[in-house]
Amino acid sequence: MNQALYGATVKTLTVQDMTAMKQRGEKITCLTAYDASFSALCDAIGIDILLVGDSLGMVIQGQQTTLPVTVNDMVYHTRCVSQARRRAFIIADLPFMSYPNALCAAQNAARLMQESGAQMVKLEGARLETTRFLVDQGIPVCGHLGLLPQQINQLGTYKVQGKTTADADKILENAHQLQQAGASLLVLECVPAALAKTISDELTIPVIGIGAGIDCDGQVLVLYDMLGISIGKSPRFSKNFMLETNSISDAIAAYQLAVKQRQFPTSEHSF
Ligand code: KIV
């Protein structure tokens, strides 16, 4: 792990550290990051996971959706993030159509790990066969269920998922299947808090929520949303931490503390 920027040796978190945090009931903090400066800042504040999300298509590139993001974009931004962090665990998104089959997924995931320093890749949806294949190759996988932004053209709008019993049961079943297939982490986006609680309680792998209520094992927000600088309207589940603080580093520290102390999200940010 690259620690040369700072000299002192700091242990980089592993997937086992995330599982241990779940087991001892310590909330896991995660923010998206896309560049070296924010990576170093979030890392120094103690954010546990830096997610190089394909949300960069919207907040960095100004695209309408995450769909135009390429593997090359992800490789570039993940490298920027990984070069500047010491402790935080790094997850990189596999972007739209970079995992149409297991082999393709493995080849693109390998680029994110070998060229950019990602420790895990995240895939949207219940990609069970692909998850099994990646895990067999030694590639740790983070699942992503609930609202799947890469399916926006099928969904029509970014809305809460799992509201009907049938939809909730499907998400719960998929969560178990992903764990069974070897995923070591799960992101749950925009689902009712009660469903997220059931999934977090039943799964042994850590569940990181975004718009999924307080009972997940950890929380993730899009960095630019929580700093209040995203283009357009921020989602209801996010919170602008800059409104209560005087600097970017104080806002990130306030988020870190609020998640660790179970003060974020509140019912106002949940469904
Ligand atoms: O791309 C991203 O930022 C994400 C989070 C919203 C979880 O996947």
Q: Spell out the residues 6+ positions from residue 257 whose beta carbon is closer than 8 angstroms to its own.
A: 263
Nearest CA to 142 out of 46, 36, 25, 53 is that of 53
**Concatenated DSSP letters for 83-145?**
HH-SSSEEEEEPPTTS-SSHHHHHHHHHHHHHTT--SEEEEES--HHHHHHHHHTT--EEEEE
Residue 108 token pair: 């693109």
Residue nearest to ligand 1 atom 4, measured at CA: 53
pLDDT at 3: 52
223 CA to middle of ligand 1, Å? 10
pLDDT at 83: 97
Angle (nearest 5°) at CA 37 between 218 and 224: 55
pLDDT at 38: 98
pLDDT at 7: 60
Residue nearest to ligand 1 atom 3, measured at CA: 53
Mutate to test the pocket of ligand 1, among 29, 54, 216 (most ligand atoms within 8 A of CB): 54
- Provide block-wise average pLDDT over 10 residues at a time, the chain (271 residues): 61 97 98 98 98 98 97 98 98 98 98 98 98 98 98 96 98 98 98 98 98 98 97 92 96 98 96 96
Please write the tens of the pLDDT for every residue from 62-104: 999 999 999 999 999 999 999 999 999 999 999 999 999 999 9
211 CA to middle of ligand 1, Å? 11
Domain 7-269 in CATH 2.30.110.10? The answer is no
Query: Phi and psi of 204, rounded to 5°?
Result: -90, -20
Ligand 1, residue 189: give the atom nearest the CA.
7
169 CA to middle of ligand 1, Å? 23
Mutate to test the pocket of ligand 1, among 55, 61, 191 (most ligand atoms within 8 A of CB): 55
Ligand 1, residue 53: give the atom nearest the CA.
1
Ligand 1, residue 220: give the atom nearest the CA.
7
93 CA to middle of ligand 1, Å? 8
Q: Which residues line ligand 1 (CB under 6 A)?
A: 32, 51, 53-55, 93, 187, 189, 210, 220, 222
Whose tokens are 């103690």? That residue is 46
pLDDT at 2: 47
pLDDT at 9: 83
Region of 113 on the Ramachandran plot (φ > 0 left; ψ -120 to 50 alpha; else beta): alpha
* Active-site annotation holds for 124: no
The single residue of 26, 189, 202, 244 carrying the catalytic annotation is 189
Q: How far is it, in rounded angstroms, from Cα 228 to Cα 37?
A: 18
Nearest CA to 185 out of 88, 112, 120 is that of 120
pLDDT at 6: 54
- Hey, where are the domains in the chain? 7-269
pLDDT at 5: 53
53 CA to middle of ligand 1, Å? 5
